[in-house]
Amino acid sequence: MKKKKTVIDFMQMKEKGEQTAWITAYDYPTALFGEQAGMDMLLVGDSLGMLVMGYDSTIPVTMEDCLAHCQSVRRGAPNTWVIGDMPFGSYQTTDSDAVNNAVRFIKEAGVDCIKLEGGQRVASRIRAITDAGILVMGHIGLTPQSSGQLGGFKAQGRDVKNAREVIKDALAVQEAGAFSLLIEAVPPEVTAFITEKLNIPVYSIGAGPCDGQLLICGDMLGQFKIFTPKFVRQYADLAAVTVDAFKTYIKDVKSGAFPTDEHVYHITEPKEKFEALFDEFK
């Protein structure tokens, strides 16, 4: 049986230069396959709003949505590190709301840590949640929940002024007590500097090499085609496979090619007895 990694394993992986590979997962089967494949971590991202629920942003996603998906992933991957992503509105208000909602992720969904977006401006939230005994992963750079303030889904840290803010955010997240940091859509030069500077593991989604990589499951499997960020490598085309399978099934049903004898349950008594039964109802 796979041994579940701990926060100490992730620290040691950084020290040894061993990469951490992880994806998002929102449901039981993906979690099951992720664990079978040997993923180091699974993030139940609030990206589920777009990938699973069909919203055009993460903003409408609720605590209840996140908890239900975290529970499914936990059941599918009992021996994998699972990260619960705090949705918009669950920590922006006060430190105390942030702690109460982080506690729900741990108690009701059994996740191993929570992730929240922001650097300097959420430092007190990270400190409060950490002080409550809950592990926090920071998330800086392109932070989708505040994409409006960033002027859209735009890469961050591309000029010196903005890179300075990204570096200050990274330092603030570590200082506030986070056990790791995710950087999204930042140039590799800035990520490399932060990875070297920080003691905690630094992970990337579209931010170049560091201590590990995250991809959105629907992007890397070719399931979500509405938009594909530059940083995605597609490892399969499940959308094409799925549509092909659906089309073949429709054709088989319409032509009578499905079902055949192998797909039905057989009677356990002589046919004549059934004929007699049917006669009773004629």
Q: Does 90 bind ligand KIV (CB under 6 A)?
A: no
What's the rounded Cα separation, in Å, for the pair 132 and 102? Answer: 9
Measured from each CB, the residue nearest to ligand KIV is 45
Q: Which stretch binds ligand KIV (CB under 6 A): 38-46, 100-108, 128-136, 234-242?
A: 38-46
Using CA atoms, how far residue 235 sits from 78, 120, 222, 239, in Å, is 25, 35, 7, 12
Among 66, 70, 155, 216, binds ligand KIV (CB under 6 A): 216
Subset of 45-64 contacting ligand KIV (CB under 6 A)? 45-47
* Own/partner pairs, 19-23, CB within 8 angstroms, 24+ separation: 19/211, 19/212, 19/213, 20/201, 20/203, 20/211, 20/212, 20/213, 21/212, 21/213, 22/203, 22/212, 22/213, 22/214, 23/214, 23/215, 23/216, 23/217, 23/220
Subset of 227-266 contacting ligand KIV (CB under 6 A)? none
Peptide bond into 259 cis (omega under 30): yes
173: closest CA among 207, 140, 129? Answer: 140
Subset of 175-194 contacting ligand KIV (CB under 6 A)? 182, 184
Q: Does 24 bind ligand KIV (CB under 6 A)?
A: yes
Annotated catalytic residue within 15, 165, 184, 262: 184
Give least dist CB 61 to ligand KIV, A. 9
List Cβ neighbours of 147 (8 Å cut-off, separation of 6 or more): 57, 153, 154
Helices (H), 77-207: 95-109, 123-131, 147-150, 160-175, 188-197
- Is 184 among the catalytic positions? yes
Residue closer to ligand KIV, measured from CB, 174 or 204 = 204
Total residues at interface with ligand KIV (CB under 6 A): 12
Using CA atoms, how far residue 111 sits from 159, 172, 205, 250, 251, in Å, is 36, 24, 21, 40, 43
Query: Residue 274 is inside which H or E element, if any?
Result: helix 271-280
Among 85, 112, 169, 219, binds ligand KIV (CB under 6 A): 85
Give least dist CB 273 to ligand KIV, A. 58
Q: Does 205 bind ligand KIV (CB under 6 A)?
A: yes
Residue closer to ligand KIV, measured from CB, 69 or 104 = 69
Give least dist CB 215 to ligand KIV, A. 9
Binding-site string for ligand KIV from residue 261 to residue 280, where x marks contact by CB under 6 A and - marks none: --------------------
Residue closer to ligand KIV, measured from CB, 161 or 230 = 230
Catalytic positions: 184
What residues line the site for ligand KIV (CB under 6 A)? 24, 43, 45-47, 85, 139, 144, 182, 184, 205, 216
